[in-house]
């Protein structure tokens, strides 16, 4: 087997202390996603939206990558074929675990975006409605995250990878949000083996051939050991 395509979601960062969205007590039970994760919400109240992402950025910066992130970085380093990591997460824990290539389909918390000129820049602290674009000096700035109703990033590249995947694994995602939730069908149609790794068996994850149930920090390192032992 040469090409492995991985899709990660909030569950892989849960044991690093970052909240998931749809679990009991998750982020979408504390906030209305219409208010903080849509273009309409941002137009209505940019300060509320910036506050939401400022808090999440501070949480992410205070968190550390866990054993599951580290195991995927080891897979990328040691697997003799291609390993493509697509993440729905906007945190940078994969990169901080040593993953060299990460496709952030829902954008990146640690980056600002200018709506006017398209510039992107690193953000380590807070953003605000008065924040200026470092390239064109306008105030049409926002976190570089993909909101509901917007087009996820890198879809053509992702589509190409899914079409020649031999193994597709989803880790810590509820399979509720498209287009990511549909990747399993595309990969399976292209002939890939499909495997789901999740704390729970249910959700929108019944399209997978195989599933491994348990916390990512336990299951992912063991699964990576197993894969690398087959090389």
Active site residues: 106
Q: Using CB under 6 A, which residues numbered 147 to 206 contact ligand APR?
A: 172-174, 176-177, 198-200, 203
User: Nearest to residue 203, comparing CAs of 160, 169, 174?
Assistant: 174
Which member of 3, 22, 96, 163 binds ligand APR (CB under 6 A)? Answer: 22
Which residue of this chain has its Cβ atom nearest to ligand APR in the complex?
11
- Binding to ligand APR by residue 71, rule CB under 6 A? no
Strand pairing category for 120-122 and 210-213: unpaired
Backbone φ/ψ region at 85: left (φ over 0), alpha (ψ -120 to 50), beta: beta
Rounded to a whole number of angstroms, the minimum distance from the CB of residue 221 to ligand APR is 12
Compute the distance between CA of residue 138 and CA of residue 182 in angstroms, rounded to an integer. 38
Q: Does 23 bind ligand APR (CB under 6 A)?
A: yes
- Residue in the structure block whose two tokens are 């992130």: 69
* The only residue of 106, 142, 223, 227 in contact with ligand APR, by rule CB under 6 A: 106
Of 36 and 133, CB closest to ligand APR: 36
C-alpha to C-alpha distances, 157 to 15, 103, 131, 146, 154, nearest whole angstrom: 29, 9, 32, 17, 5
3-state secondary structure of 212: strand
Query: What are residue 210's phi and psi, to 5 degrees?
Result: -135, 150
Q: Decide if residue 39 touches ligand APR (CB under 6 A).
A: no
Nearer to ligand APR, 177 or 228 (CB): 177
Binding site for ligand APR (CB under 6 A): 9-11, 14-15, 20-23, 26, 88, 106, 172-174, 176-177, 198-200, 203, 215-216
């Amino acid at each position: 087997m040469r090409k492995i395509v991985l899709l990660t979601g909030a569950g892989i960062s849960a044991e690093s202390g970052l909240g998931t969205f749809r679990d009991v007590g998750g982020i979408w039970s504390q906030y209305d996603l219409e208010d903080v994760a849509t273009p309409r919400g941002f137009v209505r109240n940019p300060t509320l939206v910036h506050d939401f992402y400022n808090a999440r950025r501070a949480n992410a910066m205070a968190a550390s990558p866990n054993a599951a992130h580290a195991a995927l970085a080891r897979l990328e380093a040691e697997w003799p074929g291609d390993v493509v990591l697509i993440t729905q997460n906007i945190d940078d824990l994969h990169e901080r675990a040593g993953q060299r290539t990460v496709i952030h389909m829902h954008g990146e918390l640690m980056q600002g975006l200018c709506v006017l000129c398209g510039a992107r820049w690193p953000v380590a602290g807070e953003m605000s409605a008065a924040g200026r674009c470092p390239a064109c000096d306008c105030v049409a700035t926002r976190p570089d995250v993909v909101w509901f109703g917007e087009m996820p990033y890198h879809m053509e590249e992702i589509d190409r990878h899914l079409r020649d995947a031999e193994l597709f694994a989803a880790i810590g995602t509820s399979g509720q949000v498209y287009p990511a939730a549909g990747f399993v069908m595309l990969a399976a149609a292209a002939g890939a083996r499909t495997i789901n790794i999740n704390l729970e068996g249910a959700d929108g994850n019944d399209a997978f051939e195989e599933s491994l149930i348990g916390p990512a920090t336990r299951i992912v390192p063991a699964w990576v050991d197993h894969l690398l032992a087959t090389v």
